[in-house]
């Protein structure tokens, strides 16, 4: 895969034009990057050594820019008040969390972290306007895992920002995919020391302060890892709202496998072998739902709403109106025209479809995920079919949710 310059990785958009994208680790400051290398014993594949060298140089630049941003904005960041508690979109990877993110940020009362801010959290207040213009060519117009639109200004998972800031995260596994999964205790933060937990909370809150300083509106945040962290998030934001989306597990499994394989191949510093990936996907699914079930009783009444992806695709306007009603967001009629325009603009998007799951694997999924399959009524779900036969998504929404999550 990796004959691309400057550590970039090729992808192909619909037009067939070859494009380039930087490794996500090129957003780390030097200390975050050094810790990642040391803890993985510098186990960079020889053909990726030049990428590691480039990231090292770039990380030094990020460190200097972070210090400059702190000098200019530090006091203002610390004084920034997050007046309205965020809306958190939670759910397993590939269940449609990004579709919900895209729809909720159409409300001009809402704000969100952009891809640039999540990949360059150390200095985006200082550099975002200039760098997104200068380095527009580094961001592909389409994402490698699902051919969805990409761009510096598109909404992004805040978990990537935590990685760039040097916080432990399960996403660090992407860098060294042949090593055991990293920082799994940071899924729910319950197995880390009180000091480490408080440090994570401070880092996360400070990042949100920076986003709020840029745009003081209610934040809409999306990260599947937050599904495990509802208890911790409520400590920071007691009045936070949570939207949980679910999708057919027999579709989620192959789609999640495809997601991680794509990320490990595109952004890893080793040639991935995927030896433990299937078991990892099976365990993470169980963990996310178990931790969410434990936390749900602690969420205040009227602050949690659940939605099925299939219902959202079938009737996006109706489901969004219900979401606004259940979470007491008000003024849906002002947002309706924007959602209608968005749906029209994205009509006709072709979804990925996946190889039929082997009978023994389907049986294992049913055995281990059976409680969730039964709870949400997916017992009779049809087996997925080959990805080489794309079909149009149902309804006008056109499954924009085939994005990262």
pLDDT in tens, 173-221: 999 999 999 999 999 999 999 999 999 999 999 999 999 999 999 999 9
Question: What is the CA 315 to chain-centroid distance, rounded?
Answer: 24
pLDDT at residue number 149: 54
| Mean pLDDT score across all residues of the chain | 87
Tokens standing for 364? 């294992």
Question: What is the CA 107 to chain-centroid distance, rounded?
Answer: 20
**What are 172-177's contacts with CB under 8 Å, separation 24+?**
172/36, 174/24, 174/260, 174/263, 174/264, 174/267, 174/268, 175/25, 175/36, 175/40, 175/267, 175/268, 175/269, 176/40, 176/43, 176/268, 176/269, 176/270, 177/264, 177/268, 177/270, 177/272, 177/273, 177/274
CA atoms within 13 Å, Cβ hemisphere of 259 = 20
Whole-model pTM above 0.95?
Answer: no
Taking the C-alpha atoms of residue 165 and residue 28, their distance in angstroms, rounded to an integer, is: 6
Taking the C-alpha atoms of residue 156 and residue 102, their distance in angstroms, rounded to an integer, is: 10
Tokens standing for 323? 């979401």
CB 145 within 8 A of CB 404: yes
For residue 149, give the nearest of 211, 104, 99 by alpha carbon.
99
Taking the C-alpha atoms of residue 374 and residue 380, their distance in angstroms, rounded to an integer, is: 10
CB 142 within 8 A of CB 149: yes
Q: What percent of the chain has pLDDT over 90?
A: 78
Give bridge partners of residue 11 from the DSSP assignment.
19
Sorting pLDDT into bands at 50, 70 and 90, what band is 150?
A: low
Sorting pLDDT into bands at 50, 70 and 90, what band is 137?
A: low
| pLDDT for 347 beyond 70 | yes
Taking the C-alpha atoms of residue 223 and residue 404, their distance in angstroms, rounded to an integer, is: 10
Taking the C-alpha atoms of residue 255 and residue 252, their distance in angstroms, rounded to an integer, is: 5
Question: What is the CA 25 to chain-centroid distance, rounded?
Answer: 15
pLDDT at residue number 348: 67
Taking the C-alpha atoms of residue 82 and residue 62, their distance in angstroms, rounded to an integer, is: 26
Taking the C-alpha atoms of residue 249 and residue 365, their distance in angstroms, rounded to an integer, is: 8
Sorting pLDDT into bands at 50, 70 and 90, what band is 401?
A: very low
Taking the C-alpha atoms of residue 54 and residue 356, their distance in angstroms, rounded to an integer, is: 41
**Pairing state between β 241-246 and 218-222:** unpaired
Give bridge partners of residue 220 from the DSSP assignment.
87
Tokens standing for 320? 């969004």
CB 169 within 8 A of CB 148: no
pLDDT at residue number 19: 41
Q: What is the mean pLDDT of residues 93-115?
A: 96
CB 147 within 8 A of CB 140: no
CA atoms within 13 Å, Cβ hemisphere of 118 = 18
């Amino acid at each position: 895969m990796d004959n691309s310059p400057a550590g970039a990785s090729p992808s192909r958009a619909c037009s067939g034009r070859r494009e380039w994208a930087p490794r996500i680790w090129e957003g780390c400051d030097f200390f975050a990057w050094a810790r990642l290398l040391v803890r993985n014993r510098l186990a960079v594949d020889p053909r990726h050594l030049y990428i590691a060298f480039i990231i090292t140089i770039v990380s030094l630049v990020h460190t200097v820019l972070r210090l400059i941003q702190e000098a200019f904005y530090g006091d203002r960041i610390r004084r920034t008040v997050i007046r309205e508690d965020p809306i958190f979109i939670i759910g397993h990877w590939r269940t449609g969390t990004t579709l919900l993110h895209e729809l909720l940020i159409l409300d001009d009362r809402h704000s969100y972290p952009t891809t640039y801010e999540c990949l360059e959290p150390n200095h985006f207040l200082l550099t975002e306007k200039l760098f997104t213009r200068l380095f527009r060519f580094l961001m592909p117009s389409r994402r490698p895992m699902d051919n969805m639109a990409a761009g510096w200004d598109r909404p992004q998972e805040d978990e990537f920002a935590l990685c760039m800031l040097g916080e432990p995260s399960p996403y660090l596994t992407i860098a060294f995919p042949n090593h055991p999964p990293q920082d799994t205790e940071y899924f729910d933060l319950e197995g880390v020391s009180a000091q480490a937990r408080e440090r994570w909370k401070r880092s996360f809150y400070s990042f949100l302060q920076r986003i709020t300083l840029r745009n003081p509106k209610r934040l809409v945040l999306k990260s599947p890892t937050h599904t495990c962290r509802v208890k911790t998030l409520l400590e920071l934001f007691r009045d936070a709202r949570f939207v949980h989306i679910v999708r057919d597990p027999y579709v989620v499994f192959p789609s999640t496998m495809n997601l991680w394989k794509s990320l490990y191949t595109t952004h890893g510093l080793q040639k991935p072998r995927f030896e433990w990936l299937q078991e990892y996907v099976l365990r993470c699914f169980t963990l996310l739902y178990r931790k969410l079930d434990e936390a749900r009783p602690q969420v205040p009444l009227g602050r949690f709403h659940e939605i099925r992806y299939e219902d959202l695709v079938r009737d996006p306007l109706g489901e969004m109106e219900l979401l606004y009603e259940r979470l007491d967001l008000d003024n849906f009629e002002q947002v309706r025209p924007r959602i209608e325009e968005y749906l029209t603009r994205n009509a006709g998007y072709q979804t990925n479809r996946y190889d039929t799951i082997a009978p023994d694997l389907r049986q294992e999924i049913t055995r281990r995920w059976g409680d969730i399959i039964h709870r949400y009524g997916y017992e009779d779900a049809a087996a997925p079919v080959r990805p080489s036969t794309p079909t149009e998504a149902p309804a006008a929404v056109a499954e924009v949710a085939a994005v990262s999550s």
